[in-house]
Structure formats: structure tokens, C-alpha cells
Amino acid sequence: MVSPIRWAVSKIYGSETDPPVVAEVERASYAEQIVSRLRHFENQVLPPSARVDPTLSQRVAPPFRLSNLLVWGVAIAKKSTELAGEVFVHQVWGPRKPSWGIEMTVITTIMRGAGKYSEIASLGMLRGILNVLGYVPIPSNAMVTPVTFRVPKRKLRGFLAECSSAEDGTRELAGEWVVGRHLWRRLQAEWRASRGEIRKNSVASIKSHSMDHKDRVILYIHGGAYFMFSAATHRIMTIQLSKHLNARLFAIDYRLAPETRFPGQLIDVVSAYMRLLEDLHIPPENIIVAGDSAGGALTLALLLYLRDNKYPLPSGAIVMSPWADLTMSCDSWDSNEAYDIIPRPTPGDHLHPILCYLGDEGIEKYLTHPYVSPLFGDFTGIPPLLIQCGDSEVLRDEITLLAHKATRAGVKVRHEIYEDCVHVFQTFPFLEASRRAFLSCRDFVKRVLPAQQRRSPQSLDDVAIAGLEAEMDNEKTRTVAADGQEEVSQNKDLPSLVDDDPAEDEDEDDNVSIASSSSATLHDDTGERSPIPKHPAGTERYLSRLSLRTTHLTSPSTPTTPTSTTTFIPRNHYRRASGTGFTPLSATALTMSPCLAPAPKPIVRTRATSHPDIHSLCADWAERGPANETTLYSPHAVSNSRGNV
């Protein structure tokens, strides 16, 4: 951790502390350097960079003592002093990241190093504090309907067959339907029209309004390190997704760890998907799965499980900062530790999320299982992916390799990195990058999916429409207003689409176009077109920050996934595109510019059985660049046409 005093001194004397620089290893060839680091993959053992020891046992939570109050007092005093120092440095010399406002400085300072105080915290207390997020004011109106349903005996195939056979049809799961205000009005008007409750001339206008609309349904899987949060705490994201995608959204409340270990969470997610598919008769072409952090990993695990067992796949997936590698093998856990909001867990701690999720036995058995760490799976046959992450988050590198590996398997991948942004930055509505990310989600659904998915969204049949209406339009429906307050909605009193001008609810950026990822040229400050360099300046410096740790561990058993037969020619696109207006947290107006840029090389902790040619894949990445195109959204004005990172 970089102290405020050291940070201030660096501002005065110009020492480089952003980002922390890893000691350079002199080699004759950078490509040879990368390849030499990956030799351990040939022996099918844990990589030396792994930070999770599968032989560790989880400690029992210590009992509460009165002395804990004193420790809490000391901790609060230390954190308050640190916060005051950071705010002072922010105001005098500037923030740790150029585009950060005071809000991000405060948030990151509070979260930084929080893992050091886990011994005096309990899981119940932690959940209670974080669940307050469920009462944070929501930025836009929406309708929320809580739902509880029984999990039937579905006789799931493959990996979940044994656990599924234990279901007796009495277990219940909860979730909630989230619908943006404008879509809710349209749906309600359609339901009223179908029941003959409004005049005929209005019915015609409603039908004509609905003709262009394809009914998509989003299955949202919330994050929270597998042991925190809920659908309610993530309304700040689910409402935005429903609004921008103009779609119904179902957020599932899967069972949390450590009360439920893996694969319980995966069973719940699969059950939620099957309920949409089989019980509510929603065509798979109409379903989009989305998730953040641990929910992003569950989203990928869901896709792998459905593919492995020949279940119908959804049309696409949106993953935000997915936790794809539970071995924590990548260097960004070190280089971004001083900036991200995710504290590094203490080995063996009672609040260690991986131990809570897998347990002492499961961590040895499943740590590299593709359904636990999706990075180690084969992505052949997976639907199109939108992958978003922050440049300053600890998961950045593993997400980079996730995009590269999925592209190598033939998946259509849209990989976006948002400069200066932290883990799941979409939860911060005051960030312009958050708004931009949701606009990109809209663009992905409107433009990418229609061109990539094999079948277009289908019209919902009468059974599906009736089922959705029964679930969403009832006495349990709540209005979540701009102030975050809920109140029971009387459906008959809700304004319908025919009573309102729909334009007032449309997003002002509905026609914003996201920069195309297929362009092969860029514009410099003079307006002239410049060719893309094969090895853009700054790439080696950016990649050289990625290094391996030297702790050697034993290898757990790892199941296999189908091997990929798809080949993909890597390319190293690097393009600056015209930017849109970006207003950072500070008062200074900057420019947010999307560009296609090479991402840093993460170090995977996979086995040869999980990917048939991991050594060649990584060597190819080092020599010719990533297979996928990475779009970097920068809040800084573009001053170099070659887009140095």
C-alpha cells in the first residue's frame, strides 16, 4: 500500500508511483521471457504465481470479545487518519488516478486494506453493513416484483446430476423481476389491451408501437464473492440494465456461501435459467444472461454447463468484472492493489471467499474446475460475450486472458477496459464511465447480437405472455422511485403508455453509436489517418508489469472440458476513435475516447487438460498480440495518434 506521505512526496519530486513498477527481468527476447515463465504448464501443476494454497484449512471465526471494541476503535482511528491524508493529498496534489473525483478517493481509501481487520468482523455483521446498499437511492424509477418459486425435480444432466437427484420439489428460491418505467408502461398497456380494458383506437397504437419490439429477457446473477449481497442490493445495476436494454430482467437470489457450498450456487442459477426456459416458455434466443464479479463467473459457468450437456444456450451474455480465476494468479492483484476496492483475502481466514465457497475439501477438488474458475474451460460453442472491466481493478489481467481465450475458441467477444476504473465500477452512478458501460451494453444487444446469434428472438407465445403477466403484474409489485423508497403499486392506477408521451422516458443517448471494432485506422490530432502499428509503442512496457510469483504448490485434480478444434488468427488491433464527451468527477472537462488497444498479459493457472494448448496460446499472445480486440475507454484527451497505453 502506498502511504499518503509517500504519495505526496512522489507528487513533489516526480517519482513514478502510478502504477507500481515490477522489477524488469532482462531477457534477449520478451516473447522468450513470457514462454519461459509458462513452462510449468507442461507439467500440469499449479503455476508458481498462484496465491491460493489448496491445502490450507479455513480458520473458525473467533468469538466476540469486549476487547474487539478497542480494536475496532483503533482501526477506525487509523482509517480516519488515512482517509484525511488521502483527501488532503487529493485536494493539494491530485488523486491517485487522474480522472478520480473526491468520491472515488474516499471509497477506495475506505476499502483499501480492509482485509486486515477480518479477525474482528463476522460474516453476519459484514452482510448487514453491505446490505444497506439495498436502500441506497436508485437513479431511475422502476417496477420491482419479488418472486418465490419451488425448484422441481429436473433431473439435470452431467456434473449436476447427483445434486439434482437430491431435490424433492419442496425447496424454494427467491428473486425479483425488474422492469424500467417506460417498458412497464408499455407492457401494462398491452396487458390491458388484451383484456379489452382500453378503447380500440388505443389498442391499435399500442400494437403498432410493439411491432418493432423484440421481447428479450435478462437473467441477472449478482456478485458479492459468493457470500454477500442479493438481488435487492444490485438494483442500482439491474434497473439500469432493464432500462438500457428495454427488457424484462429477472435477478436470482442464489444461496450464499458458506451456508451452501459449490455447486449449490450453480444449481440455483441453472434452475433459474430452466425456469425461464421451461416453466415460463421463454425461447432461449430471447434470453441474455448477465452478471458481475462472482455473478459474472457464475454466468460463464452456466454457459459452460449448458454447452457441455447440450441444453439450449441463451443468445448472449454480459459479464462485468468476472472473477474468472480463483487461483488469483495474475500480476494485477499486486499492481492494482493500491487502487482497487477489492481487498486481498488473508490465507486461511474465516472470511476468505474462496474457502467459504468451496470449503476445505472442495478447494483441493474444484479450485481449477471450469465451473469454478471459468478461465480454465474451453469456450467452443459459447454465445457472444460482452466483457467489461476496469483498468485499475485487481482482476484486470485474468479478464484480459478470458477475452483472448474465448476469442481463440471462435466466440464473438467484445472486450472493454475502462481506464482508471475499479472493480464493478458500474455500481457507481456518479461515474460517466458507468453510463458509458450501460450504453455499450445496449449497443451490444442492439447491434452485435442480431448479427451474431444463429436465431433471432422469437415472439412469445400466449402461455409465456400469460405467465409473465401473472408474475409481474400483481399485488407484490413495488415502485422503486428515484429516492429509493418502495411502495405497493396499485396496478390500475399506474399510468399506461397511451396516457403518456413515450419519448420522455427514452434515454437521451438512445442514438449514441459505439465505436466500431472493425476499423483498421485511427485519427491523430491533425485529423489525418494513420496506420495501426503492429507492435504499438508502450505495449512491452505495459506487458512487462506482469510477473509471476515464485511459490510452488501441489496440483489439485482438475476435470476436463471438451477440447477446442477451432483455430483463430490472432491480431493486434490498436485504434484511436473519435471520442464522446466525458465529464469526470472533478470539474475539469475531459474527453472519453474509445480505442482498440492490446491488453496486459495475464498468467493463467490452468492445466493442459482444461485447454489443449495453453503453452502455445500464451506464446502466440506474446509474439503476435491478443486474438481479440480490446476497446480501451479513456477519460483523457488523445494526444498521440498511436495510442500509447
Question: Hunting for cell 425461447 — which residue is that?
Answer: 283
In the prediction, which pLDDT does 639 show? 29
- SS3 for 342? coil
In the prediction, which pLDDT does 173 show? 94
Alpha-carbon span 188 to 175, nearest angstrom = 21
Residue 443: Cβ-neighbour burial (10 angstroms; 0-12, 13-18, 19+): middle
pLDDT digits (tens, 9 = 90+) for 592-606: 556 665 565 554 444
Of 253, 317, 322, 323, give the one whose Cα is nearest residue 289: 317
Percent pLDDT > 70 in the chain is 56
In the prediction, which pLDDT does 187 show? 75
Range of weakest confidence among 162-176, 453-467, 506-520, 571-585: 571-585
Parse the chain into domains and list their residue ranges. 1-29+69-121
pLDDT digits (tens, 9 = 90+) for 415-458: 999 999 999 999 998 999 999 999 999 999 999 898 887 778 88
In the prediction, which pLDDT does 111 show? 82
In the prediction, which pLDDT does 255 show? 96
Q: Which residues contact 486 (CB under 8 A, 6 or more apart)?
A: 144, 478, 479, 480
Q: Using 50, 70 and 90 to split pLDDT, how confident is the model at 237?
A: very high
Long-range pairs for 36-42: beta carbons < 8 A, 24 or more residues apart: 37/547, 37/548, 37/603, 38/603, 38/614, 38/615, 38/618, 38/619, 39/615, 41/604, 41/606, 41/607, 41/608, 41/614, 41/615, 41/618, 42/608, 42/615
pLDDT digits (tens, 9 = 90+) for 328-357: 888 788 889 999 998 888 776 777 889 999
Annotated catalytic residue 293: yes
Which entry of 293, 321, 496, 634 is annotated as an active-site residue?
Answer: 293
Range of weakest confidence among 213-227, 288-302, 450-464, 562-576: 562-576
pLDDT of 629 higher than 50: yes
Alpha-carbon span 123 to 129, nearest angstrom = 10
Average of per-residue pLDDT across 461-479:
76
- Higher pLDDT, residue 643 or 240: 240
| Cβ–Cβ < 8 Å for 604, 47 | yes
Joined together, the cell numbers standing for residue 51 give 496465491
Average of per-residue pLDDT across 404-419:
93
In the prediction, which pLDDT does 591 show? 44
Average of per-residue pLDDT across 206-217:
57
Q: Using 50, 70 and 90 to split pLDDT, how confident is the model at 115?
A: low
In the prediction, which pLDDT does 118 show? 62
What's the residue count for the chain?
Answer: 645
H/E stretch holding 529 reads: strand 529-531
In the prediction, which pLDDT does 334 show? 85
In the prediction, which pLDDT does 51 show? 66
Average of per-residue pLDDT across 552-562:
38
| Cβ–Cβ < 8 Å for 236, 136 | yes
Joined together, the cell numbers standing for residue 235 give 438494483
Of 282, 286, 261, 288, give the one whose Cα is nearest residue 371: 261
In the prediction, which pLDDT does 218 show? 97
